Homo-oligomer: A and B are copies of this chain.
Amino acid sequence: MTELERVERIRRTAGRARGMTLGIGDDCAIYQPKAGEELLFTTDMLIEGVHFLRDTHSAADIGHKALARGLSDIAAMGGTPRFCLLSLAVPPETTERWLDGFYKGLLDLTKRTRAPLAGGDLAHADKITCDIIVCGSTPSGTALRRSGAKPGDQIYVTGMLGGSAMGLATGKGAGWKRHLRPEPRLKIGSVLREKYRATSCMDLSDGLSIDLHRLCLASEVSADLDGDLPAFPGASMEQFLHGGEDYELLFTVMKGVVLPGQIAGVPVTRIGTVRKGKPGAVTLDEFLILPMGYDHFRKP
């Protein structure tokens, strides 16, 4: 199959987004924004040998995960997905079957989340390299940011943490499934934005310790972990605090806001309080927690 034929096959199955004037096949995709919406953009790379191995991750898992990571960033802003673009480089010996599986995993998730694939790029490389770009939207001026947490706000997380890291360590069970198929918390993000007016939000991609540190830095506050610690069943304290790729939401709400125990079927748990203090400092039972999650550019 040539590039032209592959692009044509993708085009036929991709669907078309509302507002998408022109999809796959030209130099650019064209999107007509709706009055009153602001647009959210995120890009996320998923690279063989760094983020996944071909032996343990099926083609469909990789397609799913590439997009799920991008959608998780849209969820973190309280956004609604609009469309996505995909740059994909694969080794020349990649089979048609692998490519079909990859696109199936990706396109199934685009359909379920209404984020049609609108364009991208195809190339060859030594290692499978995906870069997903997702565009989402919110009513203008309402997107959730990392920088809005205020002293006194309550800190929450969705779901249970450490499952993906535990799954990566054991290669089996519910943790491994979570690692392979993270679920972007789109519905919860929207509800937090519209109904509970979250003061800040981000997704947990690199681990609670470093991500909470980043949220606190952006908001110029510190944080005390003084609530429940909803660890994934079987996850260690290390995996709970520092494990990456849970793709749950970390967010803050004002002091008086009462949250239900679950939103959209997923538990939400209060884990701490925002404090006035050294920006970025995170404590647990008065011990300082060092940001130990994943940082691609930290020297070992």
Interface: A124 (CB within 8 A): yes
Interface: A263 (CB within 8 A): no
Interface: A39 (CB within 8 A): yes
Contact check, A26 vs B87: say whether CB atoms are below 8 A apart: no
- The 20 listed contacts between A and B (C-beta, < 8 Å) are A2-B295, A3-B298, A26-B202, A28-B41, A28-B42, A28-B143, A29-B42, A30-B40, A30-B77, A41-B135, A43-B87, A43-B119, A45-B121, A47-B124, A47-B125, A85-B133, A124-B296, A126-B127, A127-B127, A131-B131
Chain B residues near A45: list those with CB within 8 A: 87, 89, 121, 123, 125, 129, 131
Of all A-B residue pairs in the complex, the 4 with the closest CB atoms, nearest first, are A3-B297, A33-B33, A28-B40, A131-B131
CB-CB contacts of A1-19 with B at 8 A, as 1s and 0s?
A: 1111110000000000000
Chain B residues near A6: list those with CB within 8 A: 297
Contact check, A295 vs B26: say whether CB atoms are below 8 A apart: no
Contact check, A296 vs B122: say whether CB atoms are below 8 A apart: yes
Interface: A198 (CB within 8 A): no
CB distance from A103 to the nearest CB of B (A): 13
Interface: A25 (CB within 8 A): yes
List 18 additional A-B contacts (Cβ < 8 Å) besides A50-B125, A126-B126.
A3-B298, A4-B214, A4-B295, A6-B297, A25-B146, A26-B77, A26-B147, A28-B77, A33-B33, A41-B118, A41-B119, A43-B133, A44-B121, A45-B89, A45-B129, A50-B123, A123-B296, A124-B296
Q: A85-B133, A87-B43 are in contact. Are A28 and B79 (CB under 8 A)?
A: yes
Interface: A22 (CB within 8 A): yes
- Complex partner residue of A76 from B27, B118, B129, CB under 8 angstroms: B27
CB distance from A51 to the nearest CB of B (A): 8
What count of chain A residues pass the 8 Å CB interface test? 68
Interface: A140 (CB within 8 A): yes
Contact check, B27 vs A42: say whether CB atoms are below 8 A apart: yes
Interface: A38 (CB within 8 A): yes
Contact check, A26 vs B146: say whether CB atoms are below 8 A apart: yes
CB-CB contacts of A195-226 with B at 8 A, as 1s and 0s?
A: 00000001100000000001000100000000
Interface: A31 (CB within 8 A): yes
Q: A140-B32, A298-B2 are in contact. Are A89 and B26 (CB under 8 A)?
A: no
Chain B residues near A25: list those with CB within 8 A: 146, 218
CB distance from A96 to the nearest CB of B (A): 10
Nearest B residue to A118 by beta-carbon distance?
Answer: B41
Nearest B residue to A29 by beta-carbon distance?
Answer: B41
CB distance from A251 to the nearest CB of B (A): 11
